[in-house]
Amino acid sequence: MKSRVAVGGLLALMLTGCATAASDFPSIREVVAFGDSLSDCGTFGFVPTTIPARAWDQQVAQRMHYDLTPNWTGNLPGLTQGVVTQTNPADLCYAQAGARVTDGTQGKPPLSGSAQLNRYLAEHKRFTSEQLVTVYLGTNDVLGAFFPLSASGKSDAVAKTAAGEAVKRAAIQLAVLVDQILDHGAEHVAVLNLYDLGKSTYDNPSLSELTAQFNATLAALLPRDHRIIAVDTHALFDQLAANPAAFGFKNPMNDNACKDSSLFDLKCFTDPALWKSPDADKTYILIGMVHFTGRTEKLLADYVLRQVIRSEAAASPRREAGISE
């Protein structure tokens, strides 16, 4: 998946910020988000980032003067049993922590990406031309393929091949999901590929290989359609990992901001006392193994917004000429 922003210009782009105005998005009025914990707007009672930051997709929506909030909300124990304390079709953040592309417990959180889409369509039937749809899925599929290898210490070719096939299937399923979104009327679809999970706190080359396989499969199968905004998250995070200080970080990407270096220390997101330093939201890239700190959320939001703006600018001549989107 190739970014519409040159990789060499990422640093300058990020350091100059992303000042936006309503005129930057002449045809977009609201955001619909599908994804996992890296896009979750607070389904389980907290946003999986450093408090009080908002998720990157919420920040994207905010710049468009739209408040993106979770479609389902409730406490974590209740939701895992299918008990939803509140649901509102007007809330368009369907992303849920733990979601895979298609696998998942039917009807119970975490809803898979395909279940999230089915839920949206049941509530709204179709997308509108005034919506930006964001799709960021696959992290849990890649981690799910990696964990058995890591736990057992398997390094044989058969086990690696099986893991690779699993992530490729997930990427194929994601390409199909994007196609379904387009078929149901979406005009602006931002699809994020995966950053190199092997450069996260897991710091493992096998995980890097699986990430690369996922991204390559997705890039090959994504519909060649002007309505798709391909966001090369992998390229952005490669630069963060290579030169964190240039982006204002004091710690390397593979260093978890939590004192307890655990993916499942959920309290760390909302309790600064559990951070390695009081300013960890600004000085660390990742928290909770693979999740984003507040500074990282903003950098990703800026990055996505730049590419949406470029896409909108490219679409303007078509609109002026009366060519259908």
Report which DSSP code applies to 290.
T
Single out the residue of 144, 87, 86, 85 nearest to residue 112, CA to CA. Answer: 144
Neighbours of 242 (CB within 10 A): 11
Specify the pLDDT at position 31.
98
What single-letter amino acid sits at 29? R
Asked if the model's pLDDT at residue 104 lies above 70, the reply is no
Nearest to 34 by CA among 130, 110, 137: 137
Query: What was the pLDDT predicted at 76?
Result: 63
What's 7-310's CATH class?
alpha beta
State mean pLDDT over 296-308.
Answer: 97
User: How does pLDDT run across 5-32, given as a tens digit for each residue?
Assistant: 343 455 555 544 555 655 677 789 999 9
C-alpha 121/C-alpha 181 separation (Å) is: 9
149: confidence class by pLDDT, cuts 50, 70, 90: confident
Domain ranges of the chain: 7-310
Cα 67 to Cα 26, 31, 62: the distances in Å are: 18, 9, 6
Q: Find the helix or strand (DSSP H, E) in which 192 lies.
A: strand 188-192
pLDDT at position 15 is 46
- Distance separating alpha carbons of residues 68 and 124, to the nearest angstrom: 16
